[in-house]
Amino acid sequence: MKKLNKKVVVFSGSGMSAESGISTFRDTGGLWEQYRIEEVATPDAWRRNPDMVQTFYNMRRKQILEAEPNGAHRAIAELEKEFPLVVITQNIDDLHERAGSGNVVHLHGNITQAKSSGPDPDKKYYPIKGWELNLTDLCEDGYPLRPHVVWFGESVHMYNTARGEIENADILIVIGTSLQVYPAAGLIHYAPSHALKFLIDPHADELTVPGDFICLHHEATTGIRECIGLIKEKGDRF
């Protein structure tokens, strides 16, 4: 199938994976309620209690590996067959890839990989076999491996890459993100003025986005299907 000459950028957040059973930060009764963020998701937490941090992310990794891509993940992968498409995700799961998306930028890391806990953590990423990472697992420089996750207080290594993709978008689809986590949330403002822009979220009317966004008040799967229909309907008229 010949791809259409319109670049699509999908910017996804935790609501994207909620239909796959993966807890968001704010879910009642979710894994995050059992821990305080400062205990498991900061560099200080790793220095104070690496065993607790490792255990927490092992639990998250196990949950993610047991989950399956949902209809929204699969619909986006199918859209890649018709358009040049990049997914920029704030999620640390690999569900976009497992659904078939071939070009995924992980802003906040990928929990199925590990990296060095030493001074140069982003030099190399190591695939994790299964769900468990141990403190005795070492990188090639001899430091214990830690989850490939951007913790609070750390720089977003892939931010400029993501910004460049959005700056060149013809179609921007923002889906399942509260747009409250910065600097990632600010990326939507780099979309060019000519781009066709969508926001998919059941609470879209509560989110602050520029006035040229088309807001679809749906969960991820229903919303992306409606969005794709609108894109195809508009065709080359934008």
For the annotated catalytic residues, the residue numbers are 108
Tell me the angle at which helices 220-234 and 71-79 cross, rounded to the nearest 10 degrees. Answer: 20
**Alpha helix stretches (DSSP H) within 67-94:** 71-79
Number of Cβ within a 10 Å radius of residue 44 = 12
Strands (E), 79-227: 85-89, 104-106, 109-116, 125-127, 145-149, 171-175, 196-200, 213-216
Number of Cβ within a 10 Å radius of residue 127 = 9
The SS3 assignment for 69 reads coil
CB < 8 Å & 24+ apart, contacts of 74-79: 74/99, 74/100, 75/221, 75/224, 75/225, 75/228, 76/10, 76/101, 76/224, 77/101, 79/8, 79/228
What tokens does 157 get?
């290594």
What tokens does 205 get?
């009317």
Alpha carbons 54 and 70: distance in angstroms, whole number? 27
